[in-house]
């Protein structure tokens, strides 16, 4: 990998510059503040870009133009929506539990912030590099369901409560398939550390090296992660024809914007995990002994590879939403417990056998 694109030099020089000027405790605090601000800016940009992309992708599949009036090709439409949400009056049901009602959107956003901190964006560009990275991400990302349940219960609205209960059942069910599909690749790498998983794909991505079981795990991960983020066709927690807006029916203004942003942030996070584990993360595409081809691929910056793969997976999730009809709650749970979970269990046993015999590339 070309050392030109190693962010360790940049982060190391910032750390040394701070260490020469302030105490070690102050260095830690300043670095934490810088990382926090960086992720806040990333979330804000992601929200604006992904909402615009969602509108254009849905328009493409429905053979229309999408937003075109505000800004060039409608690019300023999302910014106008952000301004509207910031200026909108935050209303609250007088019978609602005020403390939990206000706390719920922050719980969801905090869970997203904790999860994104462990993602390796490029070589040396990772806030936290735990040796149990996948376990950590799976654990903290599932905390978001607590915010959803709090929002539904504290709103004192039967539609919100039903939406929250549906969402809780859905997320807890599909969390199993997401975790097992990731463990299928962990069997090959022998590590839960995300940076180690990326490095293990320097000579090829696991979706290609892991044979058919890796591809099956990737498909299951795509389906289960789409369901876990409450996106169509699994958006029964927000079924407008039944539950108005689901668990966030009573929310408006900035708090509603937090729920809206959390959905797109979670979509980015699960796509980033899929890209890291199955598609090599920031690793370029290498093909065997094709030295010339591999050298050319190495000149593309790793961060471009990472965001390119994440964009591909996000597009796939948007494709699902605007192609398939919404499932009923019984169909959704049947898909997980009767089909995806048994297939996953058999698949991980097959992958363990392949790993034991060394029958992978």
- Give the per-residue pLDDT at 178: 93
Give dist(CA 219, CA 26) in Å, integer. 45
pLDDT band at 305 (very low <50, low <70, confident <90, very high): very high
In a domain, 12, yes or no: no
When pLDDT is averaged across residues 102-108 and rounded to a whole number, the result is 90
In a domain, 80, yes or no: no
In a domain, 295, yes or no: yes
In a domain, 76, yes or no: no
pLDDT band at 218 (very low <50, low <70, confident <90, very high): very high
- Evaluate if residue 1 carries a pLDDT over 60: no
In a domain, 350, yes or no: yes
- Give the per-residue pLDDT at 89: 82
Instruction: Name residue 125's beta-bridge partners.
Output: 122
Please name which of 140, 161, 151 lies closest in space to residue 106, comparing C-alpha atoms. Answer: 151
- Evaluate if residue 246 carries a pLDDT over 80: no
- Give the per-residue pLDDT at 123: 85
In a domain, 302, yes or no: yes
- Give the per-residue pLDDT at 59: 93
- Give the per-residue pLDDT at 95: 83
**Rounded to the nearest 10 degrees, how much is the dihedral formed by the CA atoms of 26, 143, 319, 44?**
-30
- Give the per-residue pLDDT at 312: 94
Q: How many domains does the chain have?
A: 1
**Which domain does 190 fall in, by range?**
94-357
In a domain, 114, yes or no: yes
Give dist(CA 220, CA 343) in Å, integer. 9
pLDDT band at 257 (very low <50, low <70, confident <90, very high): confident
Please name which of 54, 357, 21, 336 lies closest in space to residue 174, comparing C-alpha atoms. Answer: 336
Give dist(CA 56, CA 64) in Å, integer. 9
Residue 242: CB partners within 8 Å, gap ≥ 6? Answer: none
Contact between residue 269 and residue 115 where contact means Cβ atoms under 8 Å apart? yes
- Give the per-residue pLDDT at 299: 86
Contact between residue 116 and residue 269 where contact means Cβ atoms under 8 Å apart? yes
Give dist(CA 71, CA 77) in Å, integer. 7
Express each pLDDT in 136-184 by its tens digit.
998 898 888 898 889 888 988 888 888 888 888 888 889 999 999 999 9
Core vs surface per residue 11-45: b (16+ CB within 10 A) or e: beeeeeebeeeeeeeebeeeeeeeeeeebeeebee
In a domain, 307, yes or no: yes
pTM above 0.85, yes or no: yes
């Amino acid at each position: 990998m070309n050392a030109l694109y190693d962010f360790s030099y940049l982060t190391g020089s910032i750390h040394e510059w701070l260490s020469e000027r302030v105490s070690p405790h102050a260095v830690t605090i300043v670095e934490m503040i810088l990382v926090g601000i960086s992720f806040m800016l990333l979330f804000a940009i992601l929200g604006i870009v992904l909402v615009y992309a969602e509108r254009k992708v849905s328009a493409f599949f429905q053979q229309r133009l999408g937003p075109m009036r505000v800004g060039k090709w409608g690019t300023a439409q999302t910014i106008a929506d952000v301004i509207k949400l910031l200026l909108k009056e935050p209303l609250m049901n007088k019978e609602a539990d005020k403390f939990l009602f206000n706390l719920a959107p922050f719980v969801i956003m905090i869970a997203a912030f904790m999860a994104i901190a462990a993602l390796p964006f490029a070589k040396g560009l990772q806030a936290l590099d735990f040796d149990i990275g996948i376990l950590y991400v799976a654990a903290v990302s599932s905390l978001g369901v607590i915010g959803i349940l709090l929002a539904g219960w504290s709103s004192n609205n039967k539609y919100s409560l039903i939406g929250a209960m549906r969402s809780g059942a859905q997320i807890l069910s599909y969390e199993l398939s997401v975790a097992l599909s990731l463990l299928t690749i962990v069997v090959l790498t022998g590590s839960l550390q995300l940076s180690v998983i990326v490095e293990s794909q320097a000579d090829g991505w696991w979706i290609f090296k892991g044979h058919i079981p890796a591809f099956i795990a990737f498909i299951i991960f795509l389906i289960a992660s789409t369901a876990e983020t409450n996106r169509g066709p699994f958006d029964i927690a927000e079924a407008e024809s039944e539950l108005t807006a689901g668990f966030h029916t009573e929310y408006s203004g900035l708090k509603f914007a937090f729920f809206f942003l959390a959905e797109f942030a979670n979509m980015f996070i699960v796509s980033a995990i899929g890209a890291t584990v199955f598609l090599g993360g920031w690793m370029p595409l290498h093909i065997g002994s094709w030295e010339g081809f591999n050298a050319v691929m190495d000149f593309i910056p790793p961060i471009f590879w990472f965001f390119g793969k994440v964009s591909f997976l996000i597009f796939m999730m948007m494709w699902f939403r605007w192609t398939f009809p919404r499932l009923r709650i019984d169909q959704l749970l049947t898909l997980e417990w009767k089909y995806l979970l048994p297939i996953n269990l058999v698949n991980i046993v097959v992958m363990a056998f392949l790993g034991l015999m060394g029958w992978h590339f």
